[in-house]
């Protein structure tokens, strides 16, 4: 009895230990354990960017399938943070690959626009420029108040109407319109201020 009080329960391996063991052995059981730990978090990340629950579930599975190859190529110091970025980028790539998404114009000037999604069949220079625009837009969105960011994402990424956004968020239509207009203005200010830096 006395010995049991002082016996230690084996400590589960850390995320990085699981990653290292997978890299050394190729045993998919280690990815399975990471999946058990983080599947809900990855799903929530995907749900933020993708339009419905089914596509978010599919994307979650695809992210973990990608780990089979990705973990062999990368040196990782913070698995949770790296996985979050990986899931986010996966969702953004899906959105970009859709052909019929609209162009998100911050104002009427032709030289100031950021495309939310388009086909990826461009030259290397064009692709790099688009990637920089996306990174700038992501930073601008992250800096918005949550209400403005959420309404903009629903309106532009998921192509929902004002009334649909109002129904989903509980805001009235006028408030939704105000959040979108103010959010677009704040994005425009941010892009104008930081565009040259990209």
The domain segmentation of the chain, as residue ranges, is: 8-97, 100-198
The domains spanning 8-97 and 100-198 adopt the same CATH topology: no
- CATH architecture for the domain at 100-198: Orthogonal Bundle (1.10)
- Over range 156-174, report the average pLDDT: 83
Average of per-residue pLDDT values in the chain: 77
- Is 80 exceeded by the pLDDT of residue 88? yes
- Over range 65-75, report the average pLDDT: 86
Closest C-alpha to 158, from 62, 41, 47: 47
pLDDT category at 61 given cuts 50, 70, 90 is: very high
Tell me the whole-structure pTM to 2 decimals: 0.48
Q: Are 166 and 176 in contact (CB under 8 A)?
A: yes
Q: Which of 118-122, 125-129, 132-136 has the highest mean pLDDT?
A: 132-136
Q: State the CATH class of domain 8-97.
A: mainly alpha
**CA terminus-to-terminus distance, the chain:** 66
Look up tokens 């930073």; give the residue: 139
- Is 80 exceeded by the pLDDT of residue 60? yes
């Amino acid at each position: 009895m006395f010995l049991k009080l002082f016996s230690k329960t084996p400590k589960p391996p850390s995320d990085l230990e699981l990653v290292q063991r997978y890299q050394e052995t190729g045993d998919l059981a280690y990815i399975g354990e990471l999946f058990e730990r983080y599947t809900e978090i990855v799903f929530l990340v995907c749900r933020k960017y993708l339009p419905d629950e089914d596509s978010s579930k599919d994307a979650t599975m695809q992210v973990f399938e990608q780990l089979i190859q990705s973990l062999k190529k990368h040196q990782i110091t913070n698995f949770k943070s790296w996985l979050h970025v990986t899931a986010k980028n996966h969702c953004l790539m899906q959105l970009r690959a859709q052909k019929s998404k609209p162009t998100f114009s911050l104002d009427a000037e032709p030289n100031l626009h950021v495309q939310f999604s388009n086909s990826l069949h461009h030259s290397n220079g064009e692709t790099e420029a688009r990637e920089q625009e996306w990174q700038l837009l992501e930073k601008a969105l992250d800096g918005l108040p949550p209400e403005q960011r959420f309404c903009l994402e629903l309106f532009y990424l998921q192509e929902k109407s004002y009334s649909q956004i109002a129904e989903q968020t509980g805001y009235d239509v006028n408030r939704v319109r105000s959040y979108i207009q103010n959010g677009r203005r704040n994005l425009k200010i941010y892009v104008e201020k930081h565009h040259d830096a990209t």
